[in-house]
Each structure stands twice: as C-alpha cells, then as structure tokens.
Amino acid sequence: MERILSLQDVRFTYTPDDADGRHAVDGVSFDMQAGEWIAVVGHNGSGKSTLARLMIGLLFPQEGTVGLFGDTLTEDNLWEKRSQMGMVFQNPDNQFVGATVQDDVAFALENNGIPFEEMTLRVRDALRQVKMDTFLDHEPQHLSGGQKQRVAIAGALALRPRLLILDEATSMLDPQGREEVIRVILELREKTGLSVISITHDLEEALLADRVVVMNGGRKFAEGTPQEVFLKGESLTALGLDLPFAMRLSALLGEQGIGTEPGTMTERKLVEQLWTLRSNR
C-alpha cells in the first residue's frame, strides 16, 4: 500500500505575531493509504477546514510537515502536487467558475495546459462519472445544489486526481442532493480506487468511511474505524458531537429494556437486530 498523505506534527496559527495566539491546527499527525476514505469530524472551529487547506497547500504549516504522494509539500512542488488532487467546498455557487457545466469542468484542465482534444474527452468522461453528462450546456443558475456539487466533483475528477478532499461538500444540500453526491463518491471509489478525505458534520456520512479522525480545538482527539470512534459515545457528546442516529436510538431502546448489541451504528443493522430479537431468544 502506498502512503499518499502523511501529516507530521502539523501546527498552524492564523495569528503568528500574536504571542499567545491559539493554534487553529495544533500538532496533528496522521497517515493515509491510497484508496482509503477518511472522514474528519469535529465541532465548528475545531480546525477541520484549516487542516484541509494545509493539505492542499493553500496554507503552509508553521511547524511540522505535510507529505503528499511521497514528497514533502513545498512552495516549489505545490502546483505539481495540486494537479493530482481535487477539492470541493461547501457552497455550490461559489466554486462554479465556468459559464456552463462543461466550461466549469474544463477549468482545471485549461489551467494545467491539457490540449483541446484531450479536454473534450475528459470533460465528457468526468461528467459521465457523476451522471451529469446530459447537462453539458446548462448554466449554473438552472441547476440544483446537488447537481452543482456533482459538477464540482466532475471538475475535480477531470484532472484524474489521486486524492479528493471534500470540505463539507454536502452540508448545504437537501437530503436528496446529499444522497446523490454521496452515492456518486461511493461509486467512484469502487470503480477507480480514489482516495477520499471528507470533512463532514453528517455522521451517517462519516460511518461510510474506512477511518474517522475526530478534531477538537485544533488537536486530533481520536482516530480509528467508525466503530472504534463512535463507541467512545459519552466523550464524543462532551465535545459537542452527535452520535449516529442508530446509536442514539439503540441507547434509548436500552433504557426501555430492549437490549441491542452495543456498537450498532447503521439503521439497517439496527432494524435487523430488532426484527430478529424474538427469534434469537
């Protein structure tokens, strides 16, 4: 397995001149293998977006290093590294650069000097992957939020990145748009083995990840599989985080004397346990 991202004791503050300024990211380390999906969760202001900005070189850490695809990220290799990654932000409107869907998807390709013939192929290909290939000439104002986010993902995919970073990419969408986007990412991962870092407040989304990193006040509070992390229960709620719906429900059921397996996190598993409850006895 290839290590595509490695943060080592990364420390960053927006106010370096301020002697006792708080660090937005404070000594965070973790590694990521190719093909992994990592979810980053944490309360507002816990440093998640700052972390993402450090990964893609929008910010450089004051201490520690960010390693990408085997090299340390520096001012010199910044653009080359960036051309291998994509990032999608929260607001669907504020990241749509082109006049139409296809122009927007082509934007990163144009920037990287991809020849025209190759561009047309890649634009179509990327739009097909997010199921927006019938919208080539649509203007952004005639698209739903979920569609715009899918276009933004296509814009990132067109460069054939190895790492996709989603900074709350689904948080401004309605449940349907959210599901569309998540389904697209799941499929992509299955087909192309793309590595994904998704920063999210949506715990059901975090459950889909291979690994969850919990941020708190700029520090890494916990890291592990969703099972491991959410089993911490109480200590997470103390940070102002929610627990997945199925977990909360199973806890409430427990209070009523209906015991379910601890660590039941998805609705499907919970339902399964409930309807087999009697037959197990």
Ligand X SMILES: Nc1ncnc2c1ncn2[C@@H]1O[C@H](COP(=O)(O)OP(=O)(O)OP(=O)(O)O)[C@@H](O)[C@H]1O
Q: Which residue number, 130 or 169, has a Cβ lying nearer to ligand X?
A: 169
From ligand X, Mg ion, another protein, none, which one binds at residue 42 (CB under 5 to 8 Å depending on kind)?
A: ligand X
- Nearest CA-CA partner of 44 in 83, 11, 90: 90
Q: Is position 250 an interface residue for Mg ion (rule: CB under 5 A)? A: no
From ligand X, Mg ion, another protein, none, which one binds at residue 280 (CB under 5 to 8 Å depending on kind)?
A: none
Which are the contacts of 281, defined by CB distance < 8 A and separation ≥ 6?
Answer: none
Its sign, for the CA torsion 40, 45, 46, 49, is positive
47-66 residues in contact with ligand X (CB under 6 A) are 47-50
Rounded Cα distance between 242 and 204, Å, is 11
Buried b (16+ CB within 10 A) or exposed e, 191-228: eeebbbbbbbbbbbbbbbbbbbbbbbebebbbbeebee
Contact status, residue 55 vs residue 12, Cβ threshold 8 Å: no
Q: Which residue number, 47 or 140, has a Cβ lying nearer to ligand X?
A: 47
Contact status, residue 267 vs residue 260, Cβ threshold 8 Å: no
Strands 37-42 and 211-216: parallel
Biggest distance spanned by C-alpha atoms of the chain: 67
Q: Is position 94 an interface residue for ligand X (rule: CB under 6 A)? A: no
As measured in angstroms, the least distance from the Cβ of 16 to ligand X is: 11
Strands 37-42 and 63-68: unpaired
From Mg ion, ligand X, another protein, none, which one binds at residue 82 (CB under 5 to 8 Å depending on kind)?
A: another protein
Binding site for another protein (CB under 8 A): 56, 58, 79, 82-83, 86-87, 89, 91, 93-100, 102-103, 106-116, 119-120, 123, 139-141, 155-156, 159
From Mg ion, another protein, ligand X, none, which one binds at residue 37 (CB under 5 to 8 Å depending on kind)?
A: none
Q: Which of 16, 21, 45, 193 binds ligand X (CB under 6 A)?
A: 45
- Is 153 in a helix, a strand, or coil? helix
Q: Is position 14 an interface residue for ligand X (rule: CB under 6 A)? A: yes
As measured in angstroms, the least distance from the Cβ of 155 to another protein is: 7
Rounded Cα distance between 182 and 177, Å, is 9
Rounded Cα distance between 103 and 98, Å, is 5
Rounded alpha-carbon distances, angstroms, from residue 66 to 53, 69, 249, 268? 11, 10, 39, 38
As measured in angstroms, the least distance from the Cβ of 115 to Mg ion is: 36
From another protein, Mg ion, ligand X, none, which one binds at residue 103 (CB under 5 to 8 Å depending on kind)?
A: another protein
From Mg ion, another protein, ligand X, none, which one binds at residue 84 (CB under 5 to 8 Å depending on kind)?
A: none
From ligand X, another protein, Mg ion, none, which one binds at residue 44 (CB under 5 to 8 Å depending on kind)?
A: ligand X
35-54 residues in contact with Mg ion (CB under 5 A) are 49
Rounded Cα distance between 81 and 192, Å, is 19
Rounded Cα distance between 176 and 111, Å, is 32
Q: Which stretch in 43-51, 122-130, 189-197, 242-250 sits in contact with ligand X by CB under 6 A?
A: 43-51
Q: Is position 16 an interface residue for ligand X (rule: CB under 6 A)? A: no
Tell me which residue has its CB nearest to Mg ion. Answer: 49
Q: Which residues bind ligand X (CB under 6 A)?
A: 14, 24, 42, 44-50
